[in-house]
């Protein structure tokens, strides 16, 4: 049984998760990056990071923003676990589509008790990944990342399967769904256009050209 997390406001939990997401993507959690991610002003982001620093949940780094402490990472992973389990439940048990579940899970993640979290986990058979392909922290908040590459890394003629699609943008998820680019779907790389042009892939729905930037955001196994 993991130790109970510190009592945090919903806003503080959201900031911890935002910092975790930025760190996981390799981006520094600067004031400007946090403000952009949270949709708030820079002074608001600064005030919250100062509060999180006082609580020992982040370390403020001069000119580099903030970084999660061990305790802060635990708090972030707790929220991430709730969010991703809820997404899995909403898709597997309630039949919501990939483009719908992120917003719903955002609303529910803070209200989920440890007891209900454990019941959902068991009901789903202890899933390891959410419906977008992101890993779900286990009951001890341990997180295992797979050895995936980006779709852009597939050479022409290579085949693979979609391991992860970007989360949070419902319009993008609907677009990818129309192309047949969803987790576990088969994909074949057909061509890389020269001079930074798009890549062409074949899925169950046919041949599609997508930008290199988007292909780089999609993970393939």
> pLDDT tens across 94-122, in order?
999 999 999 999 999 999 999 999 999 99
The length of the chain is: 221
Kindly tell me the sign of the dihedral angle through the C-alpha atoms of 6, 12, 17, 22: negative
Burial of residue 19 (CB within 10 Å: 0-12, 13-18, 19+) is: buried
Total structural domains within the chain = 2
Residue 129 sits in the same domain as residue 164: no
Closest CA to 150 of 218, 66, 210, 53: 218
Count of helix runs (H) and strand runs (E) in the chain: 8, 8
Say yes or no: 17 and 83 in one domain.
yes
Q: Are residues 134 and 170 in the same domain?
A: no
Instruction: Place 8 in a pLDDT band, splitting at 50, 70 and 90.
Output: confident
What domain range is 55 assigned to?
1-145
Type and span of the H or E element at 191 = strand 186-192
Task: Write down which residue in 145, 175, 193 finishes a domain.
Answer: 145
* Lookup: tokens for 5: 């997390």
> What are φ and ψ of residue 12, in 5° steps?
-65, -40
> Domain check: are 1 and 74 in the same one?
yes
What CATH number is associated with residue 162? Answer: 2.30.30.90
The confidence score (pLDDT) of residue 210 equals 98
Query: Of 145, 166, 188, which residue is a domain's last?
Result: 145
Structure pTM? 0.89
């Amino acid at each position: 049984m993991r130790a109970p997390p510190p009592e945090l406001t919903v806003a503080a939990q959201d900031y911890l998760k935002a910092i975790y997401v930025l760190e996981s993507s390799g981006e520094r959690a600067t004031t400007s990056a946090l403000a952009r991610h949270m949709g708030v002003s820079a002074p608001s982001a600064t005030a919250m990071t100062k509060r999180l620093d006082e609580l020992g949940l982040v370390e403020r780094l001069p000119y580099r923003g903030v970084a999660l402490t061990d305790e802060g990472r635990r708090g972030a992973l707790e929220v991430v676990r709730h969010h991703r389990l809820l997404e899995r439940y909403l898709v597997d048990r309630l039949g919501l589509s990939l483009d719908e579940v992120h917003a719903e899970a955002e609303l529910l993640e803070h209200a989920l008790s440890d007891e209900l979290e454990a019941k959902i986990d068991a009901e789903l058979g202890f899933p390891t990944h959410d419906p977008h392909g992101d890993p779900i922290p286990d009951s001890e908040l341990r997180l295992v990342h797979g050895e995936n590459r980006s779709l852009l890394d597939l050479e022409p003629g290579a085949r693979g399967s979609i391991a992860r699609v970007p989360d949070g943008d419902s319009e993008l998820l609907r677009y990818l769904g129309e192309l047949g680019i969803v987790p576990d779907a088969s994909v074949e790389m057909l061509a890389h256009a020269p001079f930074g042009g798009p890549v062409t892939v074949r899925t169950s729905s046919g041949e599609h050209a997508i930008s290199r930037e988007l292909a780089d955001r999609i993970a393939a196994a």
